[in-house]
């Protein structure tokens, strides 16, 4: 079973990268490098260390924004999910945040918070937080009534019900919110580096595009996607580690 999963993953990689290589060789556009050229460029910026200095910049707003979004988002979600009054008060804010055309609002953020780290963290949070809050709130509201009643019948205190019933029961949906939020946060981090000030990975993308060094530009984009995938896998691992029994496997297995 494990081998089959690995095989399918490898196969999907071969198909995607193979298609990329062929499209680059045709070429579909002179601005579209082949997969191998991109990998070579990635090797160059890895060996000269420029990608590491770039990530030292990019990871600051990214990790800070994701951490704030996760902690505040889950906290707000719990609050909104547990209290009808707070749902009424806060839910519209997050729905508006989720639907807002962020790129158009960035100039406004710059006017208020300047071009530094604060604005970029804000962009990441605006991208990541709404889906985390909304998912957490709906998961909390849908806690099965019978296990809450069970806990009450065994004399659970309020904090026990919250920590040992509501949170674990909501965890699958909270984690799926986190996964969506984190992906959106990665988009937000790059968006902020392209729209506010070119730093880090955003700088590599902007600069190599301006000198028509497309392999390096795609290498930078590839690296951020790779990092996002690794981060999402880590989240999945964390979820399985914390709430093992919630993982029921695949229906077809």
Q: Give the interface segment with other proteins, choosing from 84-92, 125-133, 145-153, 188-196 (CB under 8 A).
A: 145-153
What CA–CA distance (Å, rounded) separates 110 from 119? Answer: 6
Which of 32, 168, 209, 232 touches other proteins (CB under 8 A)? 168
Which of 164, 173, 180, 227 touches other proteins (CB under 8 A)? 164
155 binds other proteins (CB under 8 A): yes
**How far is CA 61 from its chain centroid?**
13
What CA–CA distance (Å, rounded) separates 220 from 224? Answer: 6
150 binds other proteins (CB under 8 A): yes
What CA–CA distance (Å, rounded) separates 105 from 250? Answer: 42
- Binding residues for other proteins, rule CB under 8 A, total 23
Other beta carbons within 10 Å of 198: 16
146 binds other proteins (CB under 8 A): yes
Do the Cβ atoms of 221 and 39 come closer than 8 Å? no
Which of 27, 43, 149, 229 touches other proteins (CB under 8 A)? 149
CA-based radius of gyration for the chain: 22
243 binds other proteins (CB under 8 A): yes
Among candidates 106, 93, 111, which has minimal Cα distance to 188?
106
Q: Which is nearer to other proteins, 131 or 167 (CB)?
A: 167
In the complex, minimum distance from the CB of residue 46 to other proteins, in angstroms, rounded to a whole number:
40
Do the Cβ atoms of 58 and 241 come closer than 8 Å? no
Which of 80, 97, 137, 165 touches other proteins (CB under 8 A)? 165
3 binds other proteins (CB under 8 A): no
Do the Cβ atoms of 130 and 80 come closer than 8 Å? no
Contact footprint for other proteins (CB under 8 A) = 144, 146-147, 149-157, 160, 164-165, 168-169, 171, 243-246, 248
């Amino acid at each position: 079973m494990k081998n089959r999963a690995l095989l399918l993953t490898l196969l999907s990689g071969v198909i995607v990268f193979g298609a990329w290589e062929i499209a680059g060789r045709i070429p579909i556009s002179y601005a579209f490098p082949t997969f191998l050229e991109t990998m070579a460029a990635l090797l160059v910026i890895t060996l000269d260390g420029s990608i590491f200095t770039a990530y030292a910049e990019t990871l600051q707003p990214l990790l800070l924004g994701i951490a704030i979004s996760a902690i505040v988002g889950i906290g707000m979600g719990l609050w909104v999910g547990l209290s009808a009054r707070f749902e009424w008060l806060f839910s519209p804010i997050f729905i508006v945040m989720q639907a807002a055309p962020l790129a158009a609002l960035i100039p406004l953020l710059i006017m208020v918070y300047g071009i530094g780290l604060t604005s970029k963290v804000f962009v990441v949070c605006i991208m990541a937080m709404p889906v985390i809050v909304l998912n957490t709130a709906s998961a909390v509201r849908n806690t099965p009534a019978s296990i809450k009643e069970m806990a009450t019948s065994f004399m659970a205190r309020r904090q026990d019900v919250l920590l040992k019933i509501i949170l674990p029961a909501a965890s699958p949906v909270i984690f799926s919110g986190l996964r969506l939020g984190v992906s959106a946060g990665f988009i937000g981090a790059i968006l902020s580096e392209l729209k506010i000030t070119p730093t880090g990975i955003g700088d590599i993308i902007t600069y190599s595009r301006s000198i028509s060094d497309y392999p390096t530009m795609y290498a930078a984009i590839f690296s951020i996607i790779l990092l996002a995938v690794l981060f999402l896998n880590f989240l999945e691992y964390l979820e399985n580690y914390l709430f093992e029994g919630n993982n029921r496997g695949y229906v077809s297995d």
